[in-house]
Every structure is written in C-alpha cells, then in structure tokens.
C-alpha cells in the first residue's frame, strides 16, 4: 500500500515527562488522517517529529519514503506545515508574505509572484492582497497561513489544530479548502480536538491519549466499536423532566445525562426505545424529541479514554508547544 507517512514506535521525553510512548501511524497517499486527542495527548509532538522540527528519542518515521532524521532536508522539500497559531508577518501585506516565503524557498522572483497570485485567488484573498496582514480577520489570517504552507506545492500537508479560535463560518471555509487540496492529490495529517472536524474531514482517525495511539479506523468503524447508541428524550413540557429522567433511568438501567430539558442515556438494546415510549405514554408525558441516534465520535472517545476529547486536563507536552 502506498503510504505518504509512516511512523513506528515514536517516543519522546521532556525531562520526567513522557510526551510520546510508542506512536505508530500510517497515512495513505492522497487521504486525510485525523490525529484526535485532548490537550497534552501528544499530537503536536508527533507533528514536530514528522516535520523534522524535533528528533525522536526512539522509533522511526518516514515521509514519502524519506527518513525524518537522516533525510530531513529532503523531507522539508516535500511538506507544508500550518501550526495552531498564524505564523505570517503582520506588518507585510498578504502578497508580500507569500512572495517572501517563495524567495526564502529559492523560487525565482517572477515565479514566486505568480505562485503568490495563484494562492491569493485560490484562498479568496485577492481583494486583500495589498493590505497588511494585521488588518485581516482571524479566518483570513488562517487562510493566508495555509496558503503560505502551500507555496512550495507540498505533497504532504501537516495541519496542527488549524481551526483553533476560528468562528463557525471560518471553520467551514477551511474545511472546504482541505477537501479541495485532497481532491488535488495532497496528503493531509490533521491534528484536532474537535470531534466534528475529524468526522467531517478524515477518512481514517487515530485516537491519541497520554502519548499512545489507543485506536485507529474510519469514523464509522470507531463508532461501531462502542456497541452503544445515545437515547435522546426531550419532553414537550419541561415540567415533565423529572418523570422522563426517572423513566429513562429505569428502562436503561443507566444514569442519564441531563442538559437543559434533554435527557440522554447510552443504550445497547434498541428494544429500550419502544419500552420508553410505552412508559411515557402511560405517564401521559408528551415528548418534543425521542430518538435513538448513531454513536458520535464523542461517545467513542469517552468510551476509549474515560474522558472527553475537549477535556481541559493539563498539557504533558513541554517546550512551550501546545498539544
């Protein structure tokens, strides 16, 4: 199988802290691999090793067949990297930023100018090309940052939590850009703690927790592993919430979660749905919502790790690098 990225047994320690404890990854060419995990899981350390910015203490990794330690120069010529925070020069214009990067990469000036114009058009920044980057919105800066990582036409693109801090509209715009890049043959390794992002973009997902890959598979495969589905019940009259909570608790033999006037419980037997309907009908409770939904990646992550991907647990990765 043609893999653009391969990693075996990657390990990294910072003093007494173990950031990576034997990470294995395989990214097929022309696909998106989502590296999913909370802050401190080891995502950024993995990306820094794969992009030659950090040497592993143990293990081996290749990008497009080149060793990330032994062939670091060749790897850098084949990759692009967009980190969690915009790296463009705010005092330069959008066009100047892209031209500067092109020249630093050794691209002739005329060719670098053409490439800058192409990228500004592709990312919807033509009208802002002559404005200083400091005047850009957050979404525009992220688009410029992503455009900067594509100046060299990389075969593999590393996106380290690229939508951190973006508003919903800007996130959707960036998702579409990623889809377009993959359609053009670019391989993407995406780190994220947003479950919906991984679900929307990644053909395969590697779940990372405490420096280890604890599960891999397509979103559908990972969801199927839970063996459970969320039962969701919302009474028409919020005053009936205590009755709904009691019925769901009795029928599912589980402790439901209450958010607002909605009661949710994880169930493995679809027969609980008609049982809940009968009990609520007997109690003369009208419902505004009653459904047995497919498991989400949130339930998958919670089932695998015991906590949610958006947990605010302290980061274990150091050197000032967010996880």
Do residue 172 and residue 188 come from a single domain? Answer: yes
> Per-residue confidence at 221, pLDDT binned at 50, 70, 90?
confident
Question: How many Å apart are CA 18 and CA 14, to the nearest integer?
Answer: 6
pLDDT band at 126 (very low <50, low <70, confident <90, very high): very high
Does residue 196 lie in a domain region?
yes
pLDDT for 86 equals: 65
Output the average pLDDT for the chain: 89
**Percentage above 90 pLDDT, the chain:** 68
Rounded mean pLDDT of 269-275?
90
Rounded average pLDDT over 152-164: 91
Residue 1 pLDDT: 56
Tally the domains of the chain: 2
**Residue 90 token pair:** 């705010």
Residue 308's pLDDT is 63
Question: What does the H/E/C string look like for the chain?
Answer: CCEEEEEEEEEEEECCEEEEEEEEEEEECCCEEEEECCCCCCHHHHHHHHCCCCCCCEEEEEECCEECCCCHHHHHCCEEEECCCCCCCCCCEHHHHHHHHHHHCCCCHHHHHHHHHHHHHHCCCHHHCCCEHHHCCHHHHHHHHHHHCCCCCCCEEEEECCCCCCCHHHHHHHHHHHHHHHHCCCEEEEEECCHHHHHHHCCEEEEEECCEEEEEECHHHHHHHCCCEEEEEEECCHHHHHHHHHHHHHHHCCCCEEECCEEEEEECCCCHHHHHHHHHHHCCCCEEEEEECCCCHHHHHHHHHCCCCCCCCCCCCCCCCCC
pLDDT of residue 313: 40
* Residue 307's pLDDT band (cuts 50, 70, 90): low
pLDDT of residue 314: 39
Q: Which is nearest to 10 in space by CA: 54, 48, 57, 52?
A: 57
- Do 232 and 204 share a domain, yes or no? no
Higher pLDDT, 320 or 258: 258
- 314 is a domain residue: no
Mean pLDDT across 273-281: 94
pLDDT interval class at 315 (50, 70, 90):
very low
Q: Which of 70-74, 222-226, 229-233 has the lowest mean pLDDT?
A: 222-226
* pTM check: above 0.85: no
Contacts of 16 (CB under 8 A, 6+ apart): none
**Confidence at residue 312, expressed as pLDDT on a 0 to 100 scale:** 43
> pLDDT of 166-214, one tens digit each?
888 888 988 999 999 999 999 999 998 887 888 899 999 999 999 999 9
Residue 172 in domain? yes
Report CA-CA distances (Å) from 22 to 32, 54, 66, 216, 239: 22, 15, 20, 14, 52
Could you list the residue range(s) of the whole structural domain that residue 251 is in? 228-294
In a domain, 34, yes or no: yes
The model's confidence at residue 139, banded by pLDDT at 50, 70 and 90, is: confident
**What is the per-residue pLDDT across 7-19, written as a single tens digit (0 to 9) for each?**
999 999 999 999 9
13, 45 contact by CB (below 8 A)? no
Q: What is the pLDDT of residues 87-125, one digit of tens each?
A: 789 999 999 999 999 999 999 999 999 999 999 998 999
In the structure encoding, which two tokens stand for residue 18, read together? 């173990």
Place of tokens 């691209």: 107
Residues 45-86: pLDDT tens digits?
999 999 999 999 999 999 999 999 999 999 999 999 988 766
Residues in the chain: 323
CATH number for the domain harbouring residue 49: 3.40.50.300
Same domain, 61 and 176: yes
CATH of the domain at 284: 3.30.70
220/295 Cα distance (integer angstroms): 9
Residue 251 falls inside a structural domain: yes
Please answer whether residues 88 and 144 qualify as being in contact, where contact means their C-beta atoms are separated by less than 8 angstroms. Answer: yes
Q: What is the pLDDT of residue 311?
A: 47
Let me know if residue 139 belongs to a domain.
Answer: no
The reply to whether 244 and 271 lie within a common domain is: yes
């Amino acid at each position: 199988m043609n893999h653009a990225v391969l990693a075996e047994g990657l390990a990294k320690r910072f003093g007494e802290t173990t950031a990576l404890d034997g990470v294995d990854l395989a990214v097929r060419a022309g696909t998106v691999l989502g590296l999913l995990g909370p802050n401190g899981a080891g995502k950024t350390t993995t990306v820094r090793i794969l992009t030659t910015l950090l040497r592993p203490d143990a293990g081996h990794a290749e990008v497009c067949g080149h060793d990330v330690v032994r062939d670091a120069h060749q790897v850098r010529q084949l990759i692009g990297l967009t980190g969690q925070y915009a790296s463009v020069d705010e005092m330069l214009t959008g066009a100047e930023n892209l031209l500067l990067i092109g020249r630093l990469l050794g691209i002739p000036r005329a060719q670098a100018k053409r490439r800058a114009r192409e990228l500004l058009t592709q990312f919807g920044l033509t009208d802002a090309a002559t404005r200083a980057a400091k005047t850009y919105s957050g979404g525009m800066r992220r688009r410029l940052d992503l455009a900067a990582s594509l100046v060299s036409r990389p075969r593999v693109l590393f996106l380290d939590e690229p939508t951190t801090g973006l508003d919903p509209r800007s996130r959707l715009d960036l998702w579409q850009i990623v889809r377009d890049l993959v359609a053009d043959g670019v391989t993407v390794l995406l780190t994220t703690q947003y479950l919906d992002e991984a679900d929307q973009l990644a053909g395969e997902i590697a779940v990372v927790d405490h420096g280890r890959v604890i599960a891999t598979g397509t979103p559908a495969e990972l969801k199927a592993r839970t063996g459970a589905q969320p039962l969701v019940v919302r009474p028409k009259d919020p005053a009936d919430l205590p009755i709904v909570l009691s019925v769901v608790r009795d029928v599912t033999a589980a402790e439901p979660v209450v958010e607002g006037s909605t009661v949710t419980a994880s169930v493995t037997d679809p027969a609980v749905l008609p049982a809940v309907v009968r009990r609520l009908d007997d109690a003369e409770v009208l419902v505004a919502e009653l459904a047995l939904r497919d498991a989400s990646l949130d339930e998958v992550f919670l089932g695998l790790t015991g906590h949610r991907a958006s947990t605010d647990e302290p980061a274990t990765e150091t050197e000032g690098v967010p996880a």
